[in-house]
Amino acid sequence: MKIIDLHCDALMKLADGKGSLSYADSKELDTNKARLQKGETFVQCFAIFIDLDIKSDQKFQAALDQIYYFKNEVLGKNHEMKQITKWEDFDQLKENEIGAMLTLEGVDAIGNDIQKYSILHELGVLSVGLTWNNANLAADGAGEPRGAGLTSFGKELVQFNNQHKILTDVSHLCEKAFWDVMEIAKYPIASHSNSKVLCNHVRNLTDQQARAMFDKGGLIHVVFNPPFINESGQASISDLIKHMDHFCSLGGVEQIGFGSDFDGISTKISKLENSSMYQNLINELLKYYSEEQVQGFAYQNFLNHRPE
Ligand SMILES: [Zn+2]
């Protein structure tokens, strides 16, 4: 069954490798092409994430470096990989092609410069989380003790997203910023978050947040990072499915999906350790849900709720 995965960090690894990693089949990459093919991935999102240690005036260059590896290594050397640059592109992929979509995880790289934001969008960024866990000029992330909401600049970016049909991703925001986004975003989404009721972690969503997302027509894509699944830090496929069950109980059966976080996580769910193992999750889900529901989780829910 084909898969849409909303989050991986392969570009960070490719850029850190400075050309030493081959996207086609490097073992170091959980989401290399061979693994996507084996796991039946239909579209993989690739996050641009800039390490916090990089100095502010070098962050935009670091974002461009990651886009360089996306264009030249991921796409340039693998003819099956096709960049998604607009929402209709999902419908144009051929049988043997895999869609590749750029996303931005934290807007630190643009400083306060909306022109840089516009350039990243022109290069193909279609989904943006305003923060990672830290605070920046747009908002506070989930790990920032201050916990403040959107700045005026952050609101300007959400308006830009609304105008350009860019998803506004709430996954790393602090709660106050989450509610600010929900008030103004036309296309909110949580690309890689689980339920806080089942695992009390700052990166997870409360039931109130999850319901608000479903009420607004947004999606929640569950994340495969064990510390976001169980407080013990270890997790099985069944444990991950409990988060999906819980979101379904809140009305999300047609609004949930997957955002693995492969290549960004250091511990793994057993039997779901990289993209090649995706069908293990699908086969387990088919024991509890109808084929149509599982197709929804795997790709159709996202297709149904993408901007028109
Ligand atoms: Zn993340």
| Alpha carbon distances (Å) from 269 to 7, 216, 261 | 16, 31, 12
What confidence tier does 230 reach under pLDDT thresholds 50, 70, 90? very high
Distance 229 CA to ligand 1 centre (A): 14
Rounded mean pLDDT, 273-293 = 98
pLDDT given for residue 43 in this prediction: 98
Rounded mean pLDDT, 20-44 = 98
Distance 47 CA to ligand 1 centre (A): 9
C-alpha–C-alpha distance, residues 100 and 160, integer Å: 22
Q: Which domains does the chain have, with CATH numbers?
A: 3-305 (3.20.20.140)
Could you please report the per-residue DSSP string of 127-160? EEES-SSSB-SS-BBTT-TT-----HHHHHHHHH
Rounded mean pLDDT, 4-30 = 98
Distance 249 CA to ligand 1 centre (A): 25
Which among 88, 89, 8, 81 is positioned nearest to 48, based on CA atoms? 8
Distance 230 CA to ligand 1 centre (A): 17
What single letter denotes the amino acid at residue 269? Answer: I
State the alpha helices, DSSP H only, in 185-236: 207-215
Burial (0-12, 13-18, 19+ Cβ within 10 Å), 290: exposed
For 202-225, letters b (16+ CB in 10 Å) and e give ebbbeeebbebbbeeebbbbbbbb
Contact present, 298 and 45 (Cβ < 8 Å): no
Burial (0-12, 13-18, 19+ Cβ within 10 Å), 113: middle
pLDDT given for residue 7 in this prediction: 98
**Per-residue pLDDT tens digits for 253-267:** 999 999 999 999 999
Which among 57, 53, 43, 40 is positioned nearest to 12, based on CA atoms? 53
Distance 183 CA to ligand 1 centre (A): 22
What single letter denotes the amino acid at residue 284? Answer: E
Rounded mean pLDDT, 5-15 = 98
pLDDT given for residue 75 in this prediction: 98
**Per-residue pLDDT tens digits for 166-180:** 999 999 999 999 999
pLDDT given for residue 117 in this prediction: 98
What single letter denotes the amino acid at residue 198? Answer: L
Place of tokens 């109980």: 249
pLDDT given for residue 161 in this prediction: 98
Distance 305 CA to ligand 1 centre (A): 21
Distance 59 CA to ligand 1 centre (A): 17
pLDDT given for residue 266 in this prediction: 96
pLDDT given for residue 225 in this prediction: 98
Distance 105 CA to ligand 1 centre (A): 7
What confidence tier does 136 reach under pLDDT thresholds 50, 70, 90? very high
Q: Determine which helix (DSSP H) or strand (DSSP E) holds 96, and give its type and residue range.
A: none
Distance 261 CA to ligand 1 centre (A): 7
Contact present, 214 and 203 (Cβ < 8 Å): no
The pTM for the full model equals: 0.97
Distance 262 CA to ligand 1 centre (A): 10
pLDDT given for residue 297 in this prediction: 98
pLDDT given for residue 286 in this prediction: 98
Distance 109 CA to ligand 1 centre (A): 16
| Alpha carbon distances (Å) from 2 to 42, 256, 261, 305 | 5, 15, 18, 17
Give me the chain's average pLDDT, please.
98
Rounded mean pLDDT, 277-288 = 98
Rounded mean pLDDT, 283-290 = 98
Distance 170 CA to ligand 1 centre (A): 10
